Structure formats: structure tokens, C-alpha cells
Amino acid sequence: MARLNIVKVGDDVLRKKCRPVIQITPRIITLLDDMAETLHEANGVGLAAPQVGVLRRICIVECEEGQLYEMINPEIISREGEQEELEGCLSVPGKWGYTKRPLTVTVKATDRNGNEYQVTGTGLLARAFCHEIDHLDGVIFTDNAVRMLTDEEIEELEGE
């Protein structure tokens, strides 16, 4: 496994729409493994392929240690409720903002073995699913932010 470079805001790759994965190859499996290692080393909650410079519809989410969701060609199939919470992004370091997201979402995706599955997430997990799937369409959380935190608010948050 290898730690990948996380692309930062300003790089055009973050604004491009990703292509679907047609076939799960050893290269895709390696990408999933490398993305997981990169996510863990960065202490993140989720990571999408374009964040590591790959324009494929692949993302991973891990809100609870040991519960890693690998999602190939993910699609949100239902949304319920609403939440407005603080979000950040590994590709937008040092910036935080409040976004409105569904409280609960159900995602249909394919795993590394080619099996289609569905998973429902609420709260942070729902936000993470939405955030990472947005990346696959060239959308960054700042596009959806209701309000970005000021530098002073971020400093206060970091002090807690």
C-alpha cells in the first residue's frame, strides 16, 4: 500500500465529473487500499478518488474506526430530513463551514468484489456519504456551505 498525495482546492481535477468504473481490476483494488491508508494517515472521515487525482466514481468513508465503506459507483437513492452541521475537507485544509445535508441517506454502491449493496447512514455518516459523492461530481463542500467560519472562529474551535 502507498500513501497518496491529497489534491488541494485550486486543482482542476476537483471540479471535474468522474467516470463510472466499468470493471473492477487489480488497479481499482490497489486504489481502494491506497485511499484507505491515505485516509487513515490524514485522520479524515472520507476520501474520494478525485481528491487523489483519479477521475473515477470511487470513494471511501469511515466515521467509526473499523467500519470502512468502500463505494464504487455510489448513488444516493433516498434522502430524509435535514441537518445543518460543521464540515471540513482534506482538500480544503484549514477551512470549516456549516452545510445543509439530509439527516438520513441511503446509498447504493458496489464493493471491491463486484457485489452491489445498500447502506443507510444518519447524522455524520449521512453527511460523509453526501460530501464524498459530491466530490465525484466536481462539487466541494464550500459550494454548499450556508456559512463559512471566520479565522477567529476556527482558532477558537482549535483551542477547545
Stretch 96-102: mean pLDDT: 97
Residue 63 pLDDT: 95
Rounded Cα distance between 12 and 148, Å, is 22
Polymer length in residues for the chain: 160
The DSSP result for 132-160, as a single string, is HHHHTTT--HHHHEEEEPPHHHHHHHHH-
Q: Is the pLDDT of residue 1 over 80?
A: no
Q: What domains can you pick out in the chain, each with its CATH number? A: 12-159 (3.90.45.10)
List pLDDT tens digits, range 4-16: 999 999 999 999 9
- Active site (catalytic) residues: 132
Q: Is the pLDDT of residue 147 over 80?
A: yes
Q: Is the pLDDT of residue 114 over 90?
A: yes
Task: Give the percent of the chain with pLDDT over 90.
Answer: 93
Question: In this structure, how many other beta carbons lie within 10 angstroms of the beta carbon of residue 22?
Answer: 8
Stretch 80-84: mean pLDDT: 98
pTM of the model: 0.95
Question: In this structure, how many other beta carbons lie within 10 angstroms of the beta carbon of residue 120?
Answer: 14
Mean pLDDT of the chain: 96
List pLDDT tens digits, range 19-67: 999 999 999 999 999 999 999 999 999 999 999 999 999 999 999 999 9
